[in-house]
Amino acid sequence: MPKRFSSVVGRSFGDGIRDAIRSTGMTQRRIAELLGWEEAKVSDLVRGKGGATEVEVAMLLGLCRVEAEEARRLLALYRETRENAYLQLANGVPDQLRTLISQERLADEIVAWAMNLVPGLLQTPDYSTEVVRAAATVTPDQVEQIVAAKMGRRAIFHRSREFVFFVHEQALRLHVGSPEVMAEQLHHLLRMSVRPYVSIRIVPLSIGVHAGLAGSFTKLAFEKFEPVVYLESHNSSLFLEDKVSIAVYDKVLKDLAVQALGEEQSRELITSLLA
C-alpha cells in the first residue's frame, strides 16, 4: 500500500485539535453537534486534512476553551503552507522540541547525523545540561525545562523502532562539562550501542573531508507517511518533505555509511577515548 501524504504541519495541527477536544471530556460527535457540523468535519480537522475555515477553527477552539497562546499556535499552523516544508520560528528551544517530539513518536526509523555534538537522543542529563546552558537563546530559568524535554525524548527507544546514528569523531572529542561528564557520556554511548535496534557509527577524523560537511540533520521515516528531514538552528527548525530534498539527504546518509567505521570499530574508538 503506498504511503499517503501527510505533512508535519497537518499532523501537528491535528494533534493540537485532538488535545483540545480531549481536554473538554466531550466526544468529537458532541463537539460537532454543538457547532452544528457533521462529525466528519471534526474528524478531518483532527487528522490534519482541513475542511474548515479559519473562523470555524476559531469557533472550535473557543468552544474547547483553549488558552490564548495555544489558540494562536494552532491558528498559525492552520495558515501555514503544507506543500514542501515547514519552517518553525520558535521562541526558544521548548517550542522547537514540541513538534520534533511528536514526529519522533510516530517514526519507525530515525537516522541522525551529528557533526559537532553527541546526538540529542543519546545525550546524558549532565551533558545535555551543559549544552543547553551554552545556547545563546536560552535563559537560565529555561535550562531545567529544556533538559527535561530532551530527556523525555529518550522514551521512544524500543525494539519496535530502528535507530542509526552517524557521529563525527570531533563530537566525541569536544569537551562538554567536566571530565566526569564526558566519561559518563561516552560510557552511555557504549551502553546504547549494544542494543540490537541501535546502531552507532563514528566518522573518524582521519578521513578528512566527508559527505556531512553541510551540517547535522535527522531523517524520520514512517510506516504510513512520507519521510521527513529535520534541521535545527538557534531559534528555528525546518522540516523538509519534498522528494528532491529527501533524495539529497538520502545520498548524504549513503555516503556516510561508506565513510563511517563499523559498529565494533566505533565501540573500540569510543573506548580508546576513555583510556
Q: Where are the domains of the chain?
A: 8-79, 85-274
Q: Could you tell me the pTM of the whole model?
A: 0.78
Cell triple for residue 7? 505533512
For residues 252-261, give the mean pLDDT. 98
Q: Which residue has the higher pLDDT, 96 or 149?
A: 149
Highest mean pLDDT among 10-14, 222-226, 255-259: 255-259
Which residues 6+ apart lie within 8 Å of 169 measured at CB? Answer: 202, 203, 204, 205, 269
Percent of the chain surpassing pLDDT 90: 60
Q: Which residue has the higher pLDDT, 240 or 2?
A: 240
Q: Give pLDDT, residue 7.
A: 80
Q: Give pLDDT, residue 2.
A: 44
Q: Which residue has the higher pLDDT, 88 or 190?
A: 190
Mean model confidence pLDDT for the chain: 89
Q: Which residue has the higher pLDDT, 80 or 29?
A: 29
Separation of CA 97 from chain center: 7
pLDDT at 242 over 80: yes
Q: Hey, what CATH topology would domain 8-79 get?
A: 434 Repressor (Amino-terminal Domain) (1.10.260)
Contact 35, 63 (CB under 8 A): yes
Q: Give pLDDT, residue 95.
A: 61
81 band by pLDDT with thresholds 50, 70 and 90: low
Which of 135, 45, 154 has the alpha carbon at shortest distance from 90?
A: 135
pLDDT at 82 over 60: no
Q: Classify domain 85-274 by CATH architecture.
A: 2-Layer Sandwich (3.30)
Cβ neighbours of 180 (radius 10 Å): 9
Dump pLDDT digits (tens) for 196-217.
999 999 999 999 999 999 999 9
pLDDT at 94 over 80: no
Task: Give the Å distances, CA to CA, from 106 to 154, 226, 229.
Answer: 14, 12, 14
DSSP H helices in the chain = 8-24, 28-35, 39-46, 54-63, 68-79, 93-106, 125-134, 143-152, 169-173, 179-193, 243-259, 263-274
pLDDT at 235 over 80: no
Contact 114, 82 (CB under 8 A): no
The helix (H) or strand (E) run that includes residue 230 is: strand 228-232
Span of 42-56, 64-78, 89-103, 245-259 with lowest mean pLDDT: 89-103
For residues 103-126, give the mean pLDDT. 96
Task: Give the Å distances, CA to CA, from 1 to 223, 224, 225.
Answer: 10, 9, 11
Contact 110, 158 (CB under 8 A): no
The CA-CA-CA angle for residues 174, 178, 182, to 5°, reads 55
Q: Give pLDDT, residue 80.
A: 73
Dump pLDDT digits (tens) for 27-69.
999 998 998 998 888 888 888 777 788 888 898 999 999 998 8
